[in-house]
Amino acid sequence: MTTIKDSVHDYIELDPTAEALLDTAEMQRLRSVRQLSTVQLVYPSANHTRFEHSLGVYHLASRAVDQLDLEPDLGDRLRAAALVHDVGHGPFGHQTEAAIERHLGRHHDEIEWLLTDSDLGDVLEARGLDPEAVAATVDGRGPLGELVSGPLDVDRLDYLVRDAHHTGVPYGTIDHARLLYSLRIVDGELALEAGDVATAESALIARTLMNATVYRHHVSRIAGAMLDRASERLLADGAVDADRFTRLTDAELLATLEGHAPTADVATRLRERRLYKRAVWLPRGDVPDRFAGLEYDRTRDLEREIAAVANVDPAAVVVDSPAEPSSPESRARIVVDGDLRRLEERSSLVAGLDACAREIWRLGIYARPDAVESVREAAGDVLEVDADVVP
């Protein structure tokens, strides 16, 4: 059995199926896709990859399978799904996901197309695993699929700890070993023992703090928004086929953006960290409901409208209005006197953390440095808000 030294979980033992899956080109590509994409522009040591993370998720899934004493066939499927769960990600992970969905209508968890038409599928079939069943598990469907994609899945347990480790931020520290130890199967569903409410709450606290300090840091959001607009232009212009786009690495995408004249400036700015600046940065309470969680087409219309009022190039303005915050961990199930209850029903912390998530929310309007003041004034007029940069 092959053993790999990991920076978070120490030694990870691979079964033969995992070894074979890791040797495919699809999995090796993940060595060139950063786990935190543009967060590296804020935390320089956040250079870990989705390959490392995939190993960690596999490791935790293996421990959960052993803890739950599952049937071998089900255990093998869960381990395989945990290992390949991120193989559908495009370059820069979540920050190009929206562009991919707009052009292909496919989420990164929907990987049946990849598992049934690649060496990954051949490896799975050679070892008696159904690629379609593995793909369903990655998407959270099928028996115990929530272990891989659910309210307190092994994906979340690994990335919180791993991202905290590599950024140097202490807030993602959670007792993942205790959470795995307390897992139970009740009526065919995963749940935690009632005595482990505090351990589950720690995961919510960790994610809330990591959102505030890492995942939603304004520099990463600005770079991600710039990358999204450039990716959309690349795809809309036909400079790269959408299917090919999804298989690029981070470096390949930047090179492709540099090679296409309309996106070359953004690529250079991302490489050199010469990013757009915040013209507007407003909390949820200062933003009218009609401007929260905007759809893409409405966002682009607003960008053009603000640019016209500011008398600047439309490419100089980016509107960033995220969806309303949510806490999927609060839907985790707890066993109470033999019955299943949601964590939000047993924890008084959940409501407070939901309020914290709302406090973190910001409407961002970004502009090229030379256009910040004019864009700020124009945005105030168009959105009918007191445009400002609120800490």
- C-alpha–C-alpha distance, residues 169 and 213, integer Å: 8
Q: Residue 334's beta-bridge partner residues?
A: 192, 341
CB 78 within 8 A of CB 65: yes
Looking at the domain assignment, is residue 386 inside a domain? no
116: its two tokens? 């049934």
- The answer to whether the CB of 68 falls within 8 A of the CB of 183 is yes
Euclidean distance between CA atoms 158 and 41, whole angstroms: 22
pLDDT at position 337? 64
Q: How far apart are CA 74 and CA 77, in angstroms?
A: 5
Instruction: Give me the CATH number covering residue 71.
Output: 1.10.3210.10
Q: Say how many C-beta atoms besides its own lie within 10 A of residue 233's C-beta.
A: 17
Q: Is residue 234 domain-resident?
A: yes
Quick check: 138 and 149 in contact, CB under 8 A?
A: yes
Number of domains in the chain: 1
Report the candidate in 298, 299, 317 with the shortest Cα–Cα distance to residue 308: 317
Containing structural domain, residue 232: 1-168+217-275
Distance CA 18, CA 79 (A): 8
Q: Within a domain: residue 324? A: no
What pLDDT is recorded for position 102?
Answer: 96
pLDDT at 261: 97
| Dist CA 21 CA 25 (whole Å) | 9
Asked if residue 158 is part of any domain, the answer here is yes
Q: Report how far residue 230's alpha carbon sits from residue 204's, in angstroms, rounded to the nearest whole number.
A: 33
Residue 309 lies in a domain: no
Identify the bridge partners of residue 366 per DSSP, sorted by sequence position.
Answer: 278, 318
Take residue 341 and report the two structure tokens written for it: 């209850």
Query: Is residue 84 within 8 Å of residue 138, measured between CB atoms?
Result: yes
Residue 164 domain-assigned? Answer: yes
Residue 8 within a domain? yes
pLDDT tens per residue across all 391 residues of the chain? 799 999 999 999 999 999 999 999 999 999 999 999 999 999 999 999 999 999 999 999 999 999 999 999 999 999 999 999 999 999 999 999 999 999 999 988 899 999 988 999 999 999 999 999 999 999 999 999 999 999 889 999 999 999 999 999 988 888 889 999 999 998 888 988 878 888 888 888 898 899 999 999 999 999 999 999 999 999 999 999 999 999 999 999 999 999 999 999 999 999 999 999 999 999 999 999 999 999 999 999 999 999 999 999 999 999 999 988 777 777 788 876 677 888 888 888 877 888 888 888 999 999 999 999 999 999 999 998 887 777 6
Tell me whether residue 90 is in a domain.
yes
Q: Which of 236, 145, 152, 239 has the alpha carbon at shortest distance from 193? A: 152
Element spanning 319, H or E: strand 317-320
pTM of the model: 0.95
